[in-house]
Amino acid sequence: MYKKLIIEAGKKMLHSGLTVETWGNISIRDPKTNLVYLTPSALDYDILNEDDIVVMKLDRTLVEGARKPTIETDLHLGIYAARPEINAVVHTHPIYSQVFAVLRESIPPIIDEAAQIMGGSVQTAEYALPGSMELAESCIAALGKDANACLLANHGAVCIGADMDFAFKVSAVLEMTAQIYYMARAIGKPVVIDDRLVAAMHDFAFNSYGQGK
């Protein structure tokens, strides 16, 4: 089940414009076993099969797979270790989010969707080389205890969630917010939603909005 989910997620990331070619990477953690399923390094998302998916323990012990895992394995495993409520990590390379990653700026909650899904500003992690432990540590620090998205300086974005659907929702809202912020700054000065109202919307989205809440 989890291998199939990773394959489907890779195609979704590629064809929704959240990355290009083989860049970016995805993982999911099985909350029952703590096993982590990761995309392989530098393989075409359109032709991945279940044998290509790498399965690891949180201590990096290989459980299944003959492929080399994503170079950002330490980033994925580190997030799961630091945030036990998280079960999916999507590392994307979207255009507008990367604009602000290159500027090394945060993206504030300028639209309701961003306030509801991401809460406060999305921070940019300090620059470190791709695949390095320093990058993993920088990303984890930028996410902190409760953020579900951050930018990687000059690199891309990382979005997380309790499941893959939510991680992708965060990815989509982050990129939409980045695009609107870019366009608004081109013609004027964007107005950021008041912190009190952001907190109220974020709480509503997680505790009241939708069916069964």
Q: Which two tokens stand for residue 6?
A: 């990773």
Rg over alpha carbons for the chain, rounded to the nearest Å, is: 17
* Cβ contacts of 68-72, under 8 Å, gap ≥ 24: 68/40, 68/41, 69/38, 69/39, 69/40, 69/41, 70/25, 70/27, 70/38, 70/39, 70/40, 70/41, 71/25, 71/41, 71/130, 71/131, 72/25, 72/130, 72/131, 72/135, 72/136
The span from the CA of 193 to the CA of 172, in Å, is: 19
Beta strands (DSSP E) in the chain are 25-29, 36-38, 54-56, 62-64, 88-92, 124-125, 149-152, 156-161
Of the candidates 21, 64, 72, 137, the residue annotated as catalytic is: 72
- Contact predicate 21/93, CB 8 Å: no
The span from the CA of 48 to the CA of 158, in Å, is: 22
| β partners of residue 56 | 36, 62
The verdict on whether 72 is a catalytic residue reads: yes
> Catalytic residue positions?
72
